[in-house]
Amino acid sequence: MKSPVTPPLAAPERAWTVAGIHAAGLYLTAPAGPKASVGLTAPADVTAPADLTAPSGPHTLVIPVIGMGAYDLPTAIRTHVPADVFTTGVRTGDRVEVEPDRLLLPAAELCIRRVWRPQRISGVPCLGIGCGQPDKHLVAHRGRAPDLAAVRAVLQPGIADAEASAEGIVATALNGSRGAASRYGRVDQALAERVAALIGRGPGLTPSGDDVLSGIALALRWQSAWGALAQLRAALTPHLASTTAISASLLEASLDGWCTTPVKRALGAAQAGDLPAFAEHLGAIGHTSGYDLGAGVVATCRALSRPSSRSAGGSPDPTEGEDCAVSR
């Protein structure tokens, strides 16, 4: 099954290469244009040659192909078989023969007959941490100030300044959405510099800085801060080549509200004011990735709770309204 945000498999002069193999499946990369280069930073359990452990470069597409029960990355092709069924005999660097709805691998032929729907965050004005309708057992957590105390108790940041970086970017995006840059369709230069300093920071498949940026993007959309989201999109898009291919694809998805199930559940818990559950769902994302994404969410909610942020709404995203809001 492919998702609405899975890149098209078949295109003229597009050759897909196995960029990494891991326990949950494999990653395919391909140049989207003639000047593209293939690149993917691999985690510890991914077999990858040295020339794939670098920033993606421009115009690189990536598709995760995942096995049964794997993490539901929004851009992935999902299968109903264990990953080893289709990764057997595959080596990093192999070229993969594809058709519009078919992957031909050494040990398996994957036919794509259905579309799966990833989780998506839609804008809900006036909702945020502790602003939903909690169940009776959540009353004790209702009205708590949005902070990372519950998250910090069980997770740890991937970068030391995750919170400070998130707060700086959100404040600058909100200012930019009210300033001349927004009125004249320009990128706020201060925001562009902050984004450039954060994107790609940290090791791994999705660097910690990118997790922070994803949290900010999803929370701005969740809170219907369309003007600030537009500023973030304009500042972030030119720098996507500075991070790994898979992380760049997930950042693009987050700008449009696409996310994984644990992320949506975390926002649902935050909406209800259940901060321990918020931390628990973030932990399912990863020990550091969850904290860093949570730092972006909390910084955004905190900034938008201030009276000075009320004019940051702007025009709704053109794709808004296609999906339901977060729910528990």
Tokens 């339901």 locate to: 324
Query: What does the block give as tokens for 126?
Result: 């006036």
**Angle between helices 189-198 and 208-222 in degrees, nearest 10:** 130
Phi-psi region of 320 (alpha: psi -120 to 50; beta: other; left: phi over 0): beta
Could you write out the DSSP letters of every residue in 135-159? -GGGGGGTT----SHHHHTT---SS
Could you write out the DSSP letters of every residue in 114-129? -B---EE----TT--T
pLDDT of residue 252: 94
CB–CB of 216/231 below 8 Å? no
Element (H, E) at 111: strand 109-111
Q: Which of 5, 20, 15, 53 is nearest to 36 (CA)?
A: 15
pLDDT of residue 65: 96
pLDDT of residue 324: 38
**What span, in angstroms and rounded, lies between the C-alpha atoms of 148 and 216?**
14
Query: What are the angstrom distances between the C-alpha of 318 and each of 6, 230, 315, 321, 322?
Result: 20, 11, 9, 9, 10
Query: Which stretches in the chain have pLDDT values below 70?
Result: 12-13, 33-59, 124-147, 179-185, 307-328
